[in-house]
């Protein structure tokens, strides 16, 4: 399973990259709005240079024609750009055009298997299915994800599924259990994935026991 980081925060990206477990990054306008003192292009370029893998940058236009123009400009920012396109008729028109130009796309704001299927048909490189936001409205997020994974397998779609809007480590585990290609994870969730109290207790114990061993070796 590939793990992407869902953030536009360079410090978070640098830390996670240094841990050697990040395959890519996803951003959106909300995540960019949290970063102060950068121009969009400067920050996007810095993220693209920091990450050895795909980086999703989102368009903000409404019409397919404008999305395509925006996407072409975003694509010039680096070799690892993936253009994020909101789901919809205009969005899928843009995805089809971009896919024929070889520009990679990530169809975002996908909340149902039928939407995922249409995005794959349009030639999306990735589709992002939002788990947390489905949970928020008491929908069966994992049914949506599992059905989409199954549909893509049935027809060998090359489009990869990203489990997005992840709120806790179990979202990642459940997505992995059904064979989702990718989970895009906020930094705070990634940190939680490391933690287990028994690991901490175990490390402390090994340290103490080793000290004891060294002390007794000195005496002998």
For ligand G3P, which is the closer residue by CB, 82 or 97? 82
Our measurement of the distance from residue 55's CA atom to the centroid of its chain's CA atoms, rounded to an integer in Å, reads: 9
Catalytic-labelled residue, pool 2, 76, 84, 219: 84
125 touches ligand G3P by CB under 6 A: no
6 touches ligand G3P by CB under 6 A: yes
132 touches ligand G3P by CB under 6 A: yes
169 touches ligand G3P by CB under 6 A: no
- Spatial contact of 85 and 67, defined as CB atoms under 8 Å apart: yes
CA atoms within 13 A on the CB side of 144: 24
180 touches ligand G3P by CB under 6 A: no
12 touches ligand G3P by CB under 6 A: no
Q: Which of 69, 93, 133, 192 binds ligand G3P (CB under 6 A)?
A: 133
| Ordered DSSP codes for 189-217 | HHHHHH--HHHHHHHHHHHHHHHHHHHHH
Residue 159, token pair as written in the block: 């489009």
- In the region spanning residues 137 to 166, those forming contacts with ligand G3P, defined by CB under 6 A, are 164-165
The dihedral through the CA atoms of 83, 38, 15, 198 has a sign that is negative
Residues labelled as active-site residues: 84
**Interface positions with ligand G3P (CB under 6 A):** 6, 26, 28, 128, 130, 132-133, 164-165, 184
């Amino acid at each position: 399973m590939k793990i992407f980081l869902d953030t536009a925060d360079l410090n978070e990206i640098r830390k996670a990259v240094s841990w050697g477990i990040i395959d890519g990054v996803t951003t959106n306008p909300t995540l960019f709005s949290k970063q102060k003192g950068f121009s969009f292009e400067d920050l996007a370029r810095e993220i693209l240079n920091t990450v050895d893998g795909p980086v999703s940058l989102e368009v903000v236009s409404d019409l397919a024609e404008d999305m395509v123009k925006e996407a072409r400009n975003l694509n010039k920012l680096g070799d690892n750009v993936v253009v994020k396109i909101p789901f919809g008729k205009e969005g899928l028109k843009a995805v089809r055009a971009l896919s024929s130009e070889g520009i990679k796309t990530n169809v975002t704001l996908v909340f149902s298997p039928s939407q995922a299927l249409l995005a794959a048909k349009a030639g999306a490189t990735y589709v992002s299915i939002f788990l947390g936001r489905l949970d928020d409205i008491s929908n069966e997020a994992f049914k949506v994800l599992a059905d989409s994974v199954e549909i893509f397998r049935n027809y060998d779609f090359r489009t990869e599924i990203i489990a997005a809007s992840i709120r806790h480590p179990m979202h990642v585990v459940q997505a992995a259990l059904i064979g989702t290609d990718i989970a895009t994870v906020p930094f705070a969730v990634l940190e939680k994935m490391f933690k287990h109290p028994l690991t901490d207790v175990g490390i402390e114990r090994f340290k103490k026991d080793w000290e004891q061993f060294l002390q007794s070796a000195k005496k002998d």
